Structure 1
Amino acid sequence: MLGLMAARQAGLDDPARLRRAERTRRVLSLELNKDRDVERIHGSGINTLDIEPVEGRYMLSGGSDGVIVLYDLENLSRKPNYTCKALFSVGRSHPDVHKFSVETVQWYPHDTGMFTSSSFDKTLKIWDTNTLQPADIFHFEGTVYSHHMSPVATKHCLIAGHRQEVLAVSWSPRHEYVLATGSADGRVKLWDVRRASGCLSTLDQYNGEKSKASSEAANTAHNGRVNGLCYTNDGLHLLTIGTDDRMRLWNSSTGENTLVNYGKVCNESRKGLKFAISCGCNPEFAFVPYGSTIAVYTVFTGELITMLRGHYSTVNCCVFQPHFQELYTGSKDCNILAWIPAPREPVSDDISEKSLPQHHVNPAYEDAWSSSDDEG
């Protein structure tokens, strides 16, 4: 790290390289923060979390009791020990509270004035944050397991919501009209909402090699229910998880299964499973609920890095805060836990070019001065 800092200071290295290295170090040192609590409001399991992308300060949670809570994550007390307070909640006494379990909450991607929620009560609600009143309510014939708003759309404000057996949905962060969905039939489909036919492709775990697949497994992404999917931050890959205890990484452009082996990824959830992927690290990491723990994998090699332990019951959801490389997780134990990077050990301020590895020094910056006065 000292070498990277010196190289940046001397102008010998790209500053982005130091940022990636420090973000990666912080993610690899994540630990349960014993000094930071999240105020306990929910009386039953927590199904979904979302941190607004503008400031990274406010977090929404939705629970099995139908309650929605908004938290302020900033430490206003400036003390080492503090509690992330609930600013408000849509509790059981609220006239517009969801009747049944809230499965997904999401901030409007461009400001904190609006957020959305969907529930097993077959409704999707658009909320005005300031008045805490629903601006609109959509009623469906079937259960709404998941919904998602595009983080990059500039020409539409569509919300993708699926009913009955579609358990996971996500807009591409790269293409504003492209959408991925995961279903209980084991299929993952990519959609372009501009096309009349809609479906672009159905992902095939065998990459078209039908001789290796039974007729029942052909054109399926998993041999079980697909209840979780998440794009990488650049939108080039899609990570999916199924009740076949497998996680798969797909090239989102070609639809090819990259065949990364993550081993057995225990997944007993009968509904949507919310996992997260890091942002700005090298390599990138996936944070996956795994029973009462959170498994941390490298996305592109499949290596299991660590298991984060702290919850007393099944973990349902996690959300990554990219501004400070923090992780928040929600569980059936009614708790939200904060995982933060371990503090860095103190280092010497004496950083010079001598601390740089020799291969870091650009020959153009090497000292070519000669002490000979006779030259010329």
Structure 2
Amino acid sequence: MIIPLQKNVRQLLFDCFQIQDLIMGTLQEVQTLHGHTDRVWCVSWSPSGALLASCSGDKTIRIWSKEGDEWICKSVLTDGHTRTVRSVSWSPCGQYLAAASFDATTSVWSRKSGEFECLATLEGHENEVKCAAWSCTGSLLATCSRDKSVWIWEVSADEEFECASVLSTHSQDVKHVRWHPSKEILASCGYDDTIRLFREASDDWECCNTLKGHQSTVWSIDFDKTGSRLASCSGDKTVKIWQEYEPGNPESVATEDNISAWKNVCTIGGYHERPIYDISWCHLTGNIATAGGDDSLCVFQELPSPDPKNQPHFELAARARAAHGQDVNSIAWNPKQEGLLASCSDDETVKLWALSKD
């Protein structure tokens, strides 16, 4: 005998099936880009999504663009560094590219003339520079290093770079820096298992928040589209979502000195088997992509929840196992084409992926 379900139970089951349909998807490899002759450390899309920059242990930067149905290498920048190029980052206007290197310098490239030219070489760090990132206005550039410091550089109208502040609050190697999408607030993370937030105060910059919770190196961070949430990934194999609580917030989360507080509101774990090296929060869809030392890529999608601000819920939407054959070092969503991902690896390749529903 079939017993009729109550209406609310039927609705709950229907909602569950709808959610399951929503999250199931596939990461399909679109193309493998060859050219680098050593491990590839970082991939970065231009703001228009039309160019992809990659950098490598072969000391070069490659610029890729699409011709017809294929992505091809359009430029190879070879004269900027004497050691590994660890990170590349486009300015918001898309006319400049910053590259951080193990030779303790950061190069800035201009493409205003149509060709890439090295505009400046920034010196000052004592050891390997791990990452460089532009502020939302393009008037500031942040760099971080194995020397435990974060530097903030001011960019003048005549394309000169001057160090505005040296921040030494991390106790170990600083792995990554990322600017807020609409404010001059900088986030950094590193080998000391923490995330630091910095803001300008009076005539200098100060650390306004220290986020603790990861149990190992925090390798990478990324803000969501609004800048009110921050995602981090770690050697502890987890992703954490941090929520901003502004002064006077309705949740009564305590704040000090009229500065926002940040709290860990969600931890995503159990999907990567080794450290998670990079994370990218898509500003088009809200999906989060991760890449790790287990040679896998994961995409997480936020599901409806009764309290999305204070208790968000993310589930695995798609996964690519054996994505490269070796450690995957970087992952990035295309800012204009929904569902298009770039990744790179120790296997010396860059790969493009398309996220689609099954």
TM-score higher than 0.5 here? yes
Q: Deviations over 1:140-199 (max 9, x none)?
A: 21211111101x22xx61111122211111110131x21111121112111103444611
The one of 42, 53, 60 aligned to 1:48: 42
Q: Distance between the aligned counterparts of 2:205 and 2:329, measured in 1? A: 34
Equivalent position amino acid for 2:73 in 1? A
What is the root-mean-square deviation in Å for CA atoms of aligned residues?
Answer: 2.4
CA contact (8 A) 2:231 2:279 kept: no
Query: What's 2:118 paired with?
Result: 134
Instruction: Quote the offset at 1:133 in angstroms.
Output: 2.5
The 5 Å alignment of 1:289-308 reads 289-290=291-292, 291-299=294-302, 300-308=312-320
How far apart are the structure 1 equivalents of 2:328 and 2:43?
A: 12
Instruction: Tell me how far apart the structure 2 counterparts of residues 187 and 45 of structure 1 sit (CA, whole Å).
Output: 27
Question: What aligned pairs does 1:110-149 form with structure 2 within 5 A after superposition?
Answer: 110-111=93-94, 113-129=95-111, 130-139=114-123, 140-149=125-134
Quote how far apart the aligned CAs of 1:264 are: 3.3
Query: Can you list the C-alpha shifts for 1:209-230, whole angstroms capped at 9, x where unaligned?
Result: xxxxxxxxxxx33222111111
Q: Which residue of 2 aligns with 1:288?
A: 290
Q: In 2 relative to 1, CA 246–224 (structure 1 residues): closer, same or farther, beyond 3 Å?
A: same
| Structure 2 residues not aligned, in runs of 5+ | 1-20, 147-172, 246-259, 303-311
The corresponding residue for 2:174 is 166
Separation of aligned partners in 1, 2:356 and 2:219: 32
2:60 matches 1:67: yes
Tell me how far 1:108 sits from its aligned partner.
Answer: 1.6
Which residue matches 2:199? Answer: 192
Which one-letter code corresponds to 2:92 in the other structure?
P
TM-score by length of 1: 0.69
Which of 313, 316, 335 matches 2:329?
Answer: 316
Judged with a 3 Å threshold, the aligned counterparts in structure 2 of structure 1 residues 85 and 197 are, in CA distance, closer, same or farther, namely closer
> Helix, strand or coil: the match of 1:85?
strand
Aligned: 1:83 with 2:70:
yes
- Partner SS, residue 34 of structure 2: coil
**Is the CA contact 1:38–1:85 (under 8 Å) kept in the aligned structure 2?**
no
Cα deviation, residue 119, structure 1: 0.8
CA distance in 1, matches of 2:317, 2:356: 16
Q: How does 1:181-220 map to 2 (within 5 A)?
A: 181-195=188-202, 196=204, 198-203=206-211, 220=212
Q: In structure 1, what is the Cα distance between the partners aligned to 2:90 and 2:103?
A: 20
Amino acid across the alignment from 1:147: A
- TM-score, structure 2 normalization: 0.72
Q: Which residue of 2 aligns with 1:340?
A: 354
- Contact 1:30 / 1:339 at 8 angstroms: preserved in 2? no
More strand by share: 2
Between structures 1 and 2, the one with greater helix share:
1
Larger Rg: 1 or 2? 1
How many pairs does the alignment contain? 282
